[in-house]
Amino acid sequence: MVLLALPESSRQNGSTMTQKPVAMPIARRAVLAGSAMLPFLPRLSLADTAPASDRFIWGVSTSAAQIEGAVTEDGRSESIWDVYARQPGRVADGATPAVACDHYHRWEEDVALMQRLGIGAYRFSIAWPRVLPEGIGAQNDKGWDFYARLVDALLKADIRPMPCLYHWDLPQVLQEKGGWFNRDSAAWLTEYAQAAVRRLGDRVNHWFVLNEAAVHAVFGHGSGEHAPGVTGGDAGVLKALHHQNLAQGSALRAMRTERAGLTLGTVLSLQPVVPDSDRDEDRQAAIRWDAVWNRVTLDGLMRGALPEILAPQMADLVEGDDLAIIKAPVDILGMNYYSRFTVRAQPGWLFGIGWGKARTDRFTAYGWPVEPEGIGEVLRELKELYGNPPVLITENGAAYADVPTGDVSKGGGRIDDQDRIAFLRDHVRVMQKAIADGCNVKGYCAWSLLDNFEWQMGYRMRFGLVYVNFAGNRERTPKTSFDWFREVARSGVPA
């Protein structure tokens, strides 16, 4: 039984709602498939294969669709985001990822920035349409050569490459075959995963398969706010989720068969779900959203099960030994955390939920609440309910209105982003407290190295430790947070 307590004072955007604290018992185990604790997974360290020592890893993350650009160069085909962004009204200011941060041409500069940052790991993604332009079949040597050069440069800089196979940039040719609504997507991803290991597995040990399957399903296949822009409602969300889970399980098995000794994982967006009030409708909405956002992926991966509350809706999706395939042991669990969810019952949106008032007076430029305590809540739940798996924080960061002083057109100027430093510091401190309490956290990657193409918000939202001059020639200027994070990576202490 988890008690979700509402504080006396709740604020959002300057308004205050005062109420007595209400302890609301929500039997979250009841919506999990099975209540028995899982066997402990091997306590593998991210540094087990490092030439130096078994140390906590500090790193940064990016994704191909958000930074690479060069979307028509060297044999790359279109992704769903290339097509989506060209549709009028889809992305703020009509922005597209066509150039993004121009990382495809400036990758050496970006590796030098990471080396200067003093990090030990870099989680990036491989652009599926760059290496398999038809999604399956013929491979693009020029695409693989780009990633080979990147990996070699990272290793030379003593930075561990940790590629993610899929960060939302499905080749458009596969979308035209049904995309994640097609069960064949499991075979597509598996073929791609095998190709990646054959091409880079001699140098890359740590791999992640998917990034945030729930986010991709909800906003890309349910509400249509992300690529591919499908408004499939509840059924669309669950179908895309199930097929991503199935593809992930199949790919993980194929990668282990392809090459022994790899450290394999996947990345989930995990966020505590809090009801907006003590009304039963809001409590039930919180249980539903927790099941959709957190449990379909987590219970599938760790237990080979569906959340009971969603099992009737997903029954027609499950065939044969699907759940046995989806239950795939991982060596490392990637966890992305940004905030809690505060939800209320709201007929008309997905799963009958709407957004409530977050109980904080801190918000990012994106309007996301700043709730560092939530990262500890997720880590403790993984410890208590899921056997304390080895966890890498693969994304944690915030968008703020970074206003440079001085000339950034030549990579100069200054961006004193104290709000971002406070965000990162508070989350790292909560994470470190969770580690002291026994949570099995192996590393932390800040989102993100660079300001980038932020999906439907285009270039309006800046998450980077490095400022990118999108109004000019994509010049890079490290922010004050860059220097702060460099010291954290050196000392392990968030001053």
Tokens of 117: 């940052």
Asked whether residue 65 is domain-assigned, the answer is yes
Tokens of 235: 């059924």
- Which of 285-289's residues contact partners 24+ apart within 8 Å by CB, and which partners? 285/343, 285/344, 285/345, 285/346, 285/351, 285/352, 285/353, 285/354, 286/4, 286/26, 286/343, 287/26, 287/28, 287/31, 288/351, 288/352, 288/353, 289/341, 289/343, 289/351, 289/353
Q: Is 296 helix (H, G, I), strand (E, B) or coil?
A: helix
Asked whether residue 26 is domain-assigned, the answer is no
| Cα→Cα distances 339→48, 292, 434, Å | 30, 16, 16
The H or E element that residue 426 is part of is helix 418-436
- Classify burial at 339, counting beta carbons within 10 Å of its beta carbon; exposed 0-12, middle 13-18, buried 19 or more: buried
Asked whether residue 29 is domain-assigned, the answer is no
- Tens digit of pLDDT at every position of the chain (495 positions): 232 322 222 323 333 222 222 223 333 333 222 222 222 223 233 233 333 446 899 999 999 999 999 999 999 999 999 999 999 999 999 999 999 999 999 999 999 999 999 999 999 999 999 999 999 999 999 999 999 999 999 999 999 999 999 999 999 999 999 999 999 999 999 999 999 999 999 999 999 999 999 999 999 999 999 999 999 999 999 999 999 999 999 999 999 999 999 999 999 999 999 999 999 999 999 999 999 999 999 999 999 999 999 999 999 999 999 999 999 999 999 999 999 999 999 999 999 999 999 999 999 999 999 999 999 999 999 999 999 999 999 999 999 999 999 999 887 899 999 999 999 999 999 999 999 999 999 999 999 999 999 999 999 999 999 999 999 999 999 999 999 999 999 999 997
Which amino acid does the sequence have at 328? A
Q: Is 94 helix (H, G, I), strand (E, B) or coil?
A: helix
Pairing, β 263-269 against β 206-211: parallel
Cα separation of 267 and 166, whole Å? 10
- Name the CA dihedral angle for 469, 470, 476, 479, rounded to a multiple of 10 degrees: 60
The pLDDT value recorded for residue 54 is 65
Tokens of 185: 């997507």
Catalytic: which of 191, 371, 377, 395? 395
Q: How many domains does the chain have?
A: 1
Asked whether residue 27 is domain-assigned, the answer is no
Tokens of 327: 């239950």
Decide: 297 and 241 in contact? Cβ < 8 Å: yes
Structure-token match 């400022």, residue found? 467
Phi, psi of 128 (to 5 degrees): -50, -45
Decide: 350 and 293 in contact? Cβ < 8 Å: no
The pLDDT value recorded for residue 365 is 97
The pLDDT value recorded for residue 410 is 80
Decide: 259 and 334 in contact? Cβ < 8 Å: no
Let me know how long the chain is: 495
Cα separation of 188 and 185, whole Å? 5
Distance of CA 337 to the CA centre of its chain: 8
Catalytic: which of 191, 212, 377, 454? 212
pTM of the model: 0.90
DSSP code, position 38: P
Strand ranges inside 66-186, DSSP E: 121-125, 160-166
Asked whether residue 33 is domain-assigned, the answer is no
Nearest to 174 by CA among 192, 157, 156: 192
Asked whether residue 8 is domain-assigned, the answer is no
Asked whether residue 59 is domain-assigned, the answer is yes
Structural domain of 313? 40-491
DSSP code, position 310: T
* CATH number of residue 229's parent domain: 3.20.20.80
Q: Is 212 a catalytic residue?
A: yes
Asked whether residue 14 is domain-assigned, the answer is no
